[in-house]
Amino acid sequence: MSAGDEYIFYIPSELGYGQNPRPGGVIKPGDDLIFRVELQDVIKPPEPIPSNLEAWEQYTPWTPDAEGVETTESGLQYVVLRKGEEGGETPGPRDQVSVFYEGRLVDGTVFDSAYRRGVPSTFGVNQVIAGWTEGLQLMSVGDQFMFYIPSEIAYGDSPRPGGMIKPGDDLVFQVEITEMERAPEPRPTDTEAWETFTPWNSDLPEVQKTGSGLEYIVLASGDESGQSPQGGEYVAVFYEGRLDATGDIFDSAFQRGEPALFPANRVIPGWVEALQLMKPGDRWLVHVPGSLAYGPRGNGPIPPNAALNFEVELVEVLPTQ
């Protein structure tokens, strides 16, 4: 086909889904299929961008005492291949970067390459292997480095199953930061309230209780004429969650500096109830018993049946589209 063509295809079962169609769909095992297809446009993939081949030749195999090689306390080794413009920004752990890179095993085998795909990859500095997180914070926008990353700060003994990287493999990367976006500044929680009401005491006069067992303290009130969220309306919320038993923080939109957006009825039962009592601008401390939180199954760092405490600020109820 070419752009603008319209065809009808008859596809025998053997060239379609055969005996294994998607479960629960209308296509049954052995069904032949008919498609009407109009090709609107052909989108060419980006052209590959060459990595610095001269640098690969110079530093393969990797030699720790080669000229220009620096070593950090963690064991990360790096070489500066090119510096960007003077005064270029250096990313912090919460920032987003766009990066061209190529990763190789120590024998020179390429296992991944944004250069070959022709498009930089974008991710959070703290969302990658430890060696990358450390190395990116040594760079500025426009810099190109070579990294030698020992297994202990790469994938260790648990690489992705089925990939080319084996347990214990050290890795070599060529990395170039093309762009950087600063993370929002963290928003302060009400530290005085946390200090005053931790540990949680249900007998304090400030504590209000509902019939379900939910408890809360009003820290600040918003617009009394505002509308509380109902049903599946989306809300924008700053929050911080802590384990009642230890005070450990397990999640915090305040620390991320951005409110979380979600439907008001798609959260734990204690949250659903609390949000329906709040109005935009309200800030509460909320005590959620385990039965209104994650119950016996727990969730990640939250143990089974754990009671939780939250600081919740309802920023906005978003209008239904």
Residue 70 has pLDDT above 70, yes or no: yes
Catalytic residue among 111, 234, 250, 262: 111
Q: Evaluate whether 143 touches 176 at the Cβ level (below 8 Å).
A: yes
CA proximity to 146, closest of 123, 169, 176 = 176
112: annotated active-site residue: yes
Instruction: Give the pLDDT confidence score for residue 96 in this predicted structure.
Output: 96
Residue 251 has pLDDT above 70, yes or no: yes
Q: How far apart are CA 180 and CA 142, in angstroms?
A: 10
Catalytic residue among 59, 78, 145, 173: 173
Catalytic residue among 17, 31, 49, 129: 129
Q: What CATH class has 191-317?
A: alpha beta
Q: How far apart are CA 117 and CA 51, in angstroms?
A: 11
Percent of residues, the chain, with pLDDT higher than 90: 93
Q: Thinking of the domain 53-181, which architecture would CATH place it in? A: Roll (3.10)
173: annotated active-site residue: yes
What tokens appear for 114 in the block?
A: 């944004």
Section 13-32 average pLDDT: 94
Q: How far apart are CA 102 and CA 172, in angstroms?
A: 8
- Residues 175-204: tens digit of each pLDDT: 999 999 999 999 999 999 999 999 999 999
Torsion sign across C-alpha atoms 312, 316, 317, 318: negative
123: annotated active-site residue: no
101: annotated active-site residue: yes
End-to-end Cα distance, the chain: 39
Catalytic residue among 112, 249, 250, 268: 112
Catalytic residue among 59, 100, 148, 155: 155
Largest CA distance in the chain: 75
SS (H, E, C) the chain: CCCCCEEEEEECHHHCCCCCCCCCCCCCCCCCEEEEEECCCCCCCCCCCCCCHHHHHHHCCCCCCCCCCEECCCCCEEEEEECCCCCCCCCCCCCEEEEEEEEEECCCCEEEEHHHHCCCEEEEHHHCCHHHHHHHCCCCCCCEEEEEECHHHCCCCCCCCCCCCCCCCCEEEEEEEEEEECCCCCCCCCHHHHHHHCCCCCCCCCCEECCCCCEEEEEECCCCCCCCCCCCCEEEEEEEEEECCCCCEEEEHHHHCCCEEEECCCCCHHHHHHHHHCCCCCEEEEEECHHHCCHHHCECCECCCCCEEEEEEEEEECCCC
Instruction: Give the pLDDT confidence score for residue 114 in this predicted structure.
Output: 98
What tokens appear for 71 in the block?
A: 């070593």
- Residues 95-149: tens digit of each pLDDT: 999 999 999 999 999 999 999 999 999 999 999 999 999 999 999 999 999 999 9
Residue 321 has pLDDT above 80, yes or no: no
129: annotated active-site residue: yes
Domains 53-181 and 191-317 share a fold: yes
Q: Where are the domains of the chain?
A: 6-38, 53-181, 191-317
